[in-house]
Amino acid sequence: MRKRNILLLATAFLTLLAAVAAAGAAQTCHGNAPAPPTARFAVISDPHFYDTTLGTTGSAFEAYLAQDRKMIRESEAILNSAIIKILAKKPDFVIVSGDLTKDGEKSSHQKFARRMALLEAAGIKVYVCPGNHDVNNPDAFAYDGDTETPVPNVSPQEFKAIYRNFGYKEALDRDPASLSYLVEPVKGLWVLSIDSCKYEDNLTNGYPETGGAIRPATMAWIQNKVADAQRAGKTIIAFMHHGVTEHYTGQSIAFPDYVVDDWKTVSQTLADSGLRLVFTGHYHANDITRTVRDDGGPTLFDVETGSLVTYPSPIRMVSLQNGQASLHTENVTSIKYDTGGVPFPQYAKSYLYDGLLGIALHTLLYDYGLPQPVAEAYAPYVANAFMAHYAGDEQITPEAAAFISALLGSGNPTAVYMGQMVASLWTDLPPADTCGLLDLADVVQTPAAGDLNGDGKVDAADTCLMLFHINQPADVLPAADLNSDGMITMLDIWEMARLRTRPVWKLH
C-alpha cells in the first residue's frame, strides 16, 4: 500500500506539473493599458551598491562572494544602467525596496544617495526604505588581500540624514517607532515606506539580522495612516523590504527570514486595514503573489522585485489608474564594465548559475548529508529551480519534472522533501510575475471548495499546494481536507480531481 501511495503521489505530481507548464505557456502580457494613469513609477530593489574603493580583490573579498553570489563588483555599473533606463521612461517617482548597499558601509550609502540625486535632478522623486544589510551592520568591511577591515556603518539616525531628500524631508508623517514614513508623490496617491528590519541588536550580536518584523507600534501607525487615507479619499500603497506573503509554497519553512515574522497575521491585518498593494524585495526574485484567505477576506498583493545584482537585473514599471495596477518588467541588458566580451545578460546568468551550483552542492553535502556523487547529480536541478524562480513566470521543464517525480517516488523522507521544495520553486503561484494587470478593488469572495489559492479556479496550482502538505494534519491547510477526515491524503487529491475547473493535461 505504501509503494502504491508513493507511485500515485509521483504520478499526480507529474500530471499537475504538466498542467502548470501548459497554463504558463499560454500566459501573455497585454500592453493595452487604459487612458492616462493616476501615477507612473519605477521599482528597483536590492541594488547592494558597493563603494569599490573599499577593495574588490584578494582572498578575503573572494571568500565573501563565494558564500553570497551577488554581482558586487558590477553593482555601480548595473545601477548606472538602471538609472539611464529610468530617466528615459520619465516616471513620476522611483521606489527602492531596501538593501541599498552591500553591507551598510557609510561610503556606499553616500555614493548611492548621490546616484539617486541624479534622478531627483531630472524631476523624478526617489523614495527608499532600509533593508537588512543597511543599518547598524557590523559586516561593513574594506578588503585588502586576505584581510577584511571594519569601516564605518550607519545608525538609524544617519540613515535618515543621508536619505533626507529621498522621503524623510517631504514626509507627511513619520513613525516614531521605526524608519517608516508617509509621502504623497502624486496628488491623490499616498505611499507608505515601511521599515521591517531588525537592526537594534546587530552591533551587540556581531552580525546583521536577516529576518524582519513589523513592530506593534509601527503596525498601529500603518493602520492609522491607511484609515486617514480612506477618510481623505486617497489611494494608498506601500513598500518594504521583507515579503508579507509566501512566494512559493513552503518558503516560510525553508527560508523563514525572507517573510516577516507572523506573516499570515501581518498580511491579513494589512489587507483588513484597507491596504491592497505592497512592493517588496529581499529574496532577489521577481515574483507576485497575493493573500489567500479561508475567511474570504480582502486581497493584498505582494509585488516582489528581483535584485539589480542578481540575474536578470529587473526594473518594474508600474501605472496606477482606476483601481488597477498595470505592471511590466524591463531588465538591465548592458553595462559599462568588462564582461570579457560576453553580453551582459549571458554574463549575469552564468555568474548566478555558477554561484547557485556551488551553494547547492555545499548545502546538499553538509546540510542534507548526501554522498558526493548524489549531491553533484542533484545540484544542477536545484540551481535551475532557483534561477527559474528568480526570473519569474516559471515554466517547468521535462527534465525537472522527471527529477521531481523520481524524488517524490523514492520513499526517502529527505528526498521527498527536496522534491517538494524543488517542485514549489518551479510552480508559479498566481498572478503572473513579469507583467499583468492587478485589480485592487475591495472585493471579498469566499473561495470555492478546492480553490486553495483563491484565484477563482480549481486547477494544478491548487493540487500543488495540497501535495506539498500531503499526509499532514488538516490544521496546516484546513481547506485541503476536502473529505473532513482530519488529514490531507490521496483521498483529498482524488476529490480535488473531481472538483477541477480546468482540464488535466496528459503527458505523451
Contact 343, 331 (CB under 8 A): no
Domain boundary, last residue among 331, 359, 383: 331
Provide the pLDDT for residue 497. 67
Query: Residue length, the chain?
Result: 508
Tell whether 226 is covered by a domain.
Answer: yes
DSSP label at 167? Answer: I
> Which residue segment(s) compose the domain that 19 sits in?
1-27+393-503
pLDDT in tens, 357-404: 999 999 999 999 999 999 999 999 999 999 999 999 999 999 999 999
Number of domains composing the chain: 2
Q: What's the gap between Cα 482 and its chain centre?
A: 30
Please tell me whether residues 21 and 92 are part of one structural domain.
no
Please tell me whether residues 3 and 58 are part of one structural domain.
no
Q: Does residue 437 sit in helix, strand or coil?
A: strand
User: What φ, ψ does residue 277 adopt, rounded to 5°?
Assistant: -145, 125
Give pLDDT < 70 ranges for the chain. 1-37, 442-447, 454-456, 460-461, 494, 497-498, 500-508
Closest CA to 135 of 153, 122, 115, 162: 153
CA dist 66 and 78 (Å) reads 20
Please tell me whether residues 448 and 476 are part of one structural domain.
yes
Provide the pLDDT for residue 366. 95
Phi-psi region of 322 (alpha: psi -120 to 50; beta: other; left: phi over 0): left
DSSP label at 197? Answer: B
CATH number at residue 258: 3.60.21.10
Please tell me whether residues 17 and 151 are part of one structural domain.
no
Provide the pLDDT for residue 455. 63
Provide the pLDDT for residue 465. 72
Q: Which helix (H) or strand (E) holds 81?
A: helix 75-89
Q: Which three cell numbers stand for residue 491?
A: 483521498
Contact 219, 267 (CB under 8 A): no
Please tell me whether residues 320 and 436 are part of one structural domain.
no
Contact 48, 308 (CB under 8 A): yes
Q: Does residue 307 sit in helix, strand or coil?
A: strand
Tell whether 217 is covered by a domain.
Answer: yes
pLDDT in tens, 65-107: 988 889 999 999 999 999 999 999 999 999 999 999 999 999 9
